[in-house]
């Protein structure tokens, strides 16, 4: 990879300028969808991807005040997951659900059927594996739908370029789009960022992020059981496969990477990293077949030379740490005390977080403490008031910066932002035409094992 210390300024300005021109030209002859500006019309919702995060997003959507909302369609590749989500949501939101059996769709084409139940100006929720994000977003734009999409929203260069383009098309059609990087909607982090940008702890000179705990989600996977296709196995256990989710690095680490970039008011321009696979067998001695490393350590560098260190680990019996820290020339801060954006956030006049040196600590009203709810309140307010709202470009950038660190670890090379953006390895091409009988993007060997990264041996792509 090229050792390219290119600042993102020129690229971002270019995207901004071309986006403005594209939006202006695209608006000519475009019918702007109805946006429910009156605030007294029911906004309908379709949920695509009914796992835990999708069901949580639907619950947040139905909890928004300020106008009637109704869930009218749901889709998932797995029938059991769909049925469980329907049952759980009905327990708490029965009066806001109108999802009969004929609007419950199972299959890879279910996303189209669910969105076909909506009218322009309604909202589609995308909580499927991120590999499918560009496919679903393309159809939503065609249908004139507002969108909420979970993070990450890309895992490779080609789909990132596609999503940049789709972001401009959505804005040109006056569509509002939220991205599930909820740290940006944490009222504590919003106040902290303002204070940092106002110079309260001076110039940022160092950032640190950690997510170290035991295995969660589908971090590791045993060999595929009989009777299940490779494709369905990889979609179901998406955290285990880089094409589907960016692996645990992208899915688990993006929040802290995103909010530390926000505090710096810049994105890192390059990364070097390392990682390794350690205990890769189950307690019964069966070898795991996923693509993840158990440990990661990344050094991100900003254009001004400032460093951001991120450590990740998914191993039991080790010291746990899930937090973020900022160091400035005049003081320091704790962004997240515990979790992706855990309260309280705080600032200190020294480099050690002692209570005697604390100069500020977040104190948020109870009704605004949940960033997952805040992001939905903010999105729906923009829809009902017809205010500009499109988080996709920033979401793609956060996804690219995360992927940049992941690729650095997996290849053993220094990777720049431009390297990541321009890497031509599209990990799962053709997802817009995929069917249940299609081959899986990843092929197992004779022992049922999938290819894993080989740093220093495979250096132009991750596997």
Q: For residue 337, what is the DSSP state?
A: S
Q: Is 326 exposed, middle or buried (0-12, 13-18, 19+ CB in 10 A)?
A: buried
pLDDT at site 38: 43
82 in any annotated domain: yes
122 in any annotated domain: yes
Per-residue model confidence as pLDDT tens digits over 12-38: 343 334 344 333 333 333 334 444 544
49 in any annotated domain: yes
Number of domains in the chain: 1
- Residue for token digits 């419950």? 104
301 in any annotated domain: no
Q: Do the bridges between strand 43-48 and strand 69-76 make them parallel or antiparallel, or are there none, so unpaired? A: parallel
116 in any annotated domain: yes
pLDDT along the chain (463 residues), means of 10: 39 38 36 45 97 97 96 98 98 98 98 98 98 98 98 98 98 98 98 98 98 96 94 97 98 98 98 93 90 98 98 96 98 98 97 96 97 98 98 98 98 98 98 97 92 97 97
> Are the C-beta atoms of residues 418 and 8 closer than 8 Å to each other?
no
> What gap in Å lies between CA 402 and CA 383, rounded to an integer?
29
Distances (CA, A) of 323 to 176, 216, 288, 297: 31, 17, 28, 15
77 in any annotated domain: yes
Torsion angle defined by CA atoms of residues 216, 232, 139 and 20, in that order, rounded to the nearest 10 degrees = 50
> What gap in Å lies between CA 426 and CA 439, rounded to an integer?
16
> Are the C-beta atoms of residues 149 and 159 closer than 8 Å to each other?
no
57 in any annotated domain: yes
The contacts of residue 462 (CB under 8 Å, 6+ apart) are 242, 406, 407, 410, 411, 425, 427, 453
> What gap in Å lies between CA 368 and CA 100, rounded to an integer?
33
**In terms of residue numbers, what domain contains 50?**
8-183+372-400
pLDDT at site 21: 35
pLDDT at site 119: 98
392 in any annotated domain: yes
Q: Do the bridges between strand 346-348 and strand 358-361 make them parallel or antiparallel, or are there none, so unpaired? A: antiparallel
What CATH number should be reported for the domain holding residue 167?
A: 3.40.50.720
């Amino acid at each position: 990879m090229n050792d390219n210390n290119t600042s993102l300024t020129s690229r971002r300005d270019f995207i901004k300028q071309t986006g403005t021109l594209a939006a202006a030209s695209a608006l000519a002859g475009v019918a702007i969808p109805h946006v429910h500006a009156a605030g007294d019309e029911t906004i309908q919702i379709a949920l695509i991807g009914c796992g835990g995060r999708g069901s949580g997003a639907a619950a947040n959507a139905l909890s928004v005040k300020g106008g009637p909302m109704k869930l009218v369609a749901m889709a998932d590749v797995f029938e059991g997951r769909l049925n469980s989500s329907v049952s759980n949501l009905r327990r708490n939101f029965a009066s806001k659900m109108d999802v009969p059996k004929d609007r419950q769709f199972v299959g890879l084409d279910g996303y189209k059927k669910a969105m076909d139940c909506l009218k322009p100006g309604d909202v589609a929720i995308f909580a499927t594996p991120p590999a499918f994000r560009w496919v679903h977003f393309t159809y939503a734009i065609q249908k004139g739908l507002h969108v909420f999409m979970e993070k990450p929203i890309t895992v490779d260069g080609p789909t990132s370029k596609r999503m940049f383009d789709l972001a401009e098309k959505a804005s040109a059609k006056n569509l509002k789009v939220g991205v599930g990087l909820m740290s940006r909607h944490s009222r504590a982090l919003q106040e902290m960022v303002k204070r940092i940008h106002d110079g309260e702890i001076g110039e940022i000179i160092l950032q640190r992020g950690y997510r170290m705990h035991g295995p969660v989600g589908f971090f590791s996977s045993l060999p595929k059981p009989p009777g299940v296709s490779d494709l369905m196995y990889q979609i179901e256990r998406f955290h285990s496969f880089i094409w589907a989710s960016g692996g645990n690095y992208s899915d688990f680490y993006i929040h802290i990477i995103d909010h530390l970039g926000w505090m710096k008011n810049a994105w890192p321009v390059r990364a070097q990293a390392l990682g390794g696979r350690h205990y890769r067998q189950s307690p019964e001695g069966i070898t795991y077949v996923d693509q993840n490393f158990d440990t990661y350590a990344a050094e991100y560098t900003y254009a001004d030379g400032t460093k951001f260190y991120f450590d990740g680990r998914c191993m039991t019996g080790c010291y746990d740490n899930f937090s973020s820290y900022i160091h400035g020339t005049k003081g320091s801060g704790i962004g997240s005390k515990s979790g992706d954006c855990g309260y309280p956030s705080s600032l200190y006049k020294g480099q050690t977080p002692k209570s005697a040196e604390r100069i500020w600590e977040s104190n948020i009203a109870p009704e605004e403490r949940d960033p997952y709810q805040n992001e939905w309140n903010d999105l729906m307010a923009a829809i009902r008031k017809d205010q500009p709202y499109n988080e996709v470009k920033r979401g793609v950038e956060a996804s690219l910066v995360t992927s940049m660190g992941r690729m650095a670890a997996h290849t053993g090379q220094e990777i720049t932002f431009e390297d990541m953006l321009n890497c031509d390895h599209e990990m799962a091409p053709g997802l817009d035409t995929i069917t249940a009988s299609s081959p899986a993007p990843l092929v197992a060997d004779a022992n049922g094992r999938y290819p894993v990264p080989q740093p220093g041996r495979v250096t132009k792509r991750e596997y």
